[in-house]
Amino acid sequence: MSDFNYEVFCNATYDNTTAEAGVCAAFESIGETNDGLDTFYLLFAASFVFFMQTGFAMLCAGSVRQKNVKNIMLKNILDACGGALGFWSVGYAFAYGGADSSKKGFIGNSGFFLSGFSTGGELIGWFFQFAFAATAATIVAGTVAERCKFEAYLAYSLMLTGFVYPVVVYSIWSSSGWITAFNADPFLGCGMHDFAGSGVVHMTGGITALIAAKILGPRIGRFYDADGNPLPEPVSFPPHSVALQVLGTFILWVGWYGFNPGSTLAISSSASAAVCALAAVTTTIAAAAGSVSALFTDMFLSRMQTGETEYDITMCMNGALSGLVAITAGCATLAPWAAFVTGVVGGWVYIFVSNLLVKLRIDDAVDAVPVHFGNGMWGCIAVGLFAEPGRTANAYSAHGNYGLVYGTGANLLGAQVVGLLWIIGWVTVIMTPYFLLLNSMGLFRVDSIEEEVGLDISHHKGAAYDISGPDESTVAKFELSRSQRKLEIPDAPAPIAAPPASAPVPSEDAA
């Protein structure tokens, strides 16, 4: 049935019998149903991806100190707003406008403000891609938390979603991109394979966060004392709510089932259903493997240093997120066993990069750089190593260039490495001078006094939590009132009984 083209059949010259007309009407109805099903599927997947904003908000809010909760929550809300406006106005046009698989270019040039968009497929496609753009911007929020000015955050969020990220999308996901796998003449015969965005989304957000953190500098007291002298040991700022961190992690994990399986962009055919199902399985395995890998590796390393066996929940959470980021590029092309390996290594990558940042005295408030940048890189490389021929052919095409372990040459691995270098180079060249400009204009970092008192009080009209109690005079009044309610008048004493008449009366001499 998959080889039968009902449009050719129905448009051919034939005797328009009742039976033939009925067959054509049935096929047309099936086509409309499939369009509706695919549109609904993208609506479902995009909603899950957008729901990840809640996960980022909870994770960031739990990770920062109590005095900065309102600030980080507001930035997460405005990520969605800025991403929507930036991607509606110019971002989507730069990312996909004028795509043509027979040509190659640098940036899209049509569809600004969604002009000309009318069909359900076109509109739902924008909504799905907007959710991804907002995710890329949100990655930066946690890294620069507790010290970044609100104006700067709005400025770079719009820059990222409106221009920097769309150019990366065009080069890798658009059919006209110079390194895309969907062009008629793909780079190295295969193009870069990044199915759901380990590089496009997570690396782009991660490298932006790294540049921002380096230029912005660490939080006060993290690596240096009041005089600017390096501390012998970095000071850790404990999260104010581990419960919010765990909630955010689970929400992100659930949202990834829209992120990865949803990137099939359709569900109405058996082929797309198979790719979607594989993506769900590999996503689950990699997340679990990354969590366990990071948790127990950190436990063993700590025991070797201190002799104590302790289990760090932060390692468990960020290990799971690392596995999710790492499998995002290869969720539709890796076998389950390869997904397990990718997740395990993802946990190690997270630990290594996190420790490296501390040694370099780069302050990442939520460890977004190790999770998204470090494992975004690893995820793209993992595709070049483990992409299985049959599964890759289902998700892309049978181009003959697969994972290095399958002995088909190194073209795919080479395309992955070139793609990584391209993302790092493009984002660095644009965002480094952009952040330096903001910093030189005094628009990047808050005043030191404002930072110490907390951004909630200095920027947002008060603390996020009302933890003030009643004043002492009110408590005294209450205690007095309660004591008066409990005051009871004792009963009158019973009269003393007279002695019996037969009893001898003691005399004074006897007394």
pLDDT tens digits, 71-96? 999 999 988 998 899 999 999 999 99
Helix (H) or strand (E) holding 71: helix 69-86
Is the model's pLDDT at 242 over the cut of 70?
yes
Q: pLDDT class for 471, splitting at 50, 70, 90?
A: confident
Buried b (16+ CB within 10 A) or exposed e, 46-83: bebbbebbbbbbbbbbbbbbbbbbbbbbbbbebbbebb
Q: How many CA atoms lie within 13 A of 221 on its CB side?
A: 8
Average pLDDT, stretch 271-296?
Answer: 97
pLDDT recorded at residue 346: 98
Q: How confident is the model at residue 475 (pLDDT cuts 50, 70, 90)?
A: confident
147 pLDDT exceeds 70? yes
DSSP 59: H
Find the CATH number of the domain harbouring 178.
1.10.3430.10
pLDDT above 90 for 502: no
Mean pLDDT of 380-396: 96
pLDDT > 70: percent of the chain: 89
Q: What is the pLDDT of residues 393-433, one digit of tens each?
A: 999 999 999 999 999 889 999 999 999 999 999 999 999 99
pLDDT at 476 (0 to 100): 87
pLDDT score for 10: 58
Judged against a pLDDT cut of 60, whether residue 22 lies above it is answered with: no
Confidence of residue 3 (pLDDT cuts 50, 70, 90): very low
Structural domain range at position 267: 37-459
In a domain, 127, yes or no: yes
Q: What pLDDT is attached to residue 481?
A: 85
Q: Which residues contact 289 (CB under 8 A, 6 or more apart)?
A: 323, 339, 340, 341, 342, 343, 344, 346, 347
CB 456 within 8 A of CB 64: no
**Position 501 in a domain:** no
Tokens for 428, please give them.
């660095």
- Output the pLDDT for position 511: 40
- Residue 2 belongs to a domain: no
Mean pLDDT over 299-310 rounds to: 93
- Is there a domain that residue 490 lies in? no
**What is the DSSP annotation of 448-466?**
HHHHHH-HHHHHSSS-SS-
Cα–Cα distance measured from residue 260 to residue 263, given in angstroms and rounded to the nearest whole number: 5
- Which of 1-10, 138-147, 153-162, 340-349 is the least confident region? 1-10
Give the number of domains in the chain.
1
Q: Please indicate whether residue 9 or residue 280 has the higher confidence score (pLDDT).
A: 280
Q: What is the mean pLDDT of the chain?
A: 90
Closest CA to 339 of 323, 322, 317, 358: 323
pLDDT band at 467 (very low <50, low <70, confident <90, very high): confident
Retrieve residue 168's tokens.
């990366």
Residue 420 CA to residue 78 CA, distance in Å, equals 29
pLDDT band at 478 (very low <50, low <70, confident <90, very high): confident
Do the domain assignments include residue 266?
Answer: yes
Tokens 């040039």 label which residue?
A: 109
Nearest CA to 320 out of 280, 299, 291, 348 is that of 291
The rounded percent of the chain whose pLDDT value lies above 90 is 77
What pLDDT score does 227 carry?
84
In which band, very low, low, confident or very high, does the pLDDT at 180 lie, cut at 50, 70 and 90? very high
pLDDT above 70 (res 372)? yes
* pLDDT higher than 50, residue 489: yes
Domain presence at residue 466: no
- 487 vs 393, higher pLDDT: 393
Q: Establish if 70 belongs to a structural domain.
A: yes
pLDDT at 4 over 80: no
Cα atoms found within 13 Å of the Cα of residue 443, Cβ hemisphere only: 12
In a domain, 76, yes or no: yes
Is 70 exceeded by the pLDDT of residue 14?
A: no
Which phi and psi (to 5°) does residue 400 adopt? 90, 5
What average pLDDT score do residues 294-303 get? 96
Residue 41 has pLDDT above 60, yes or no: yes
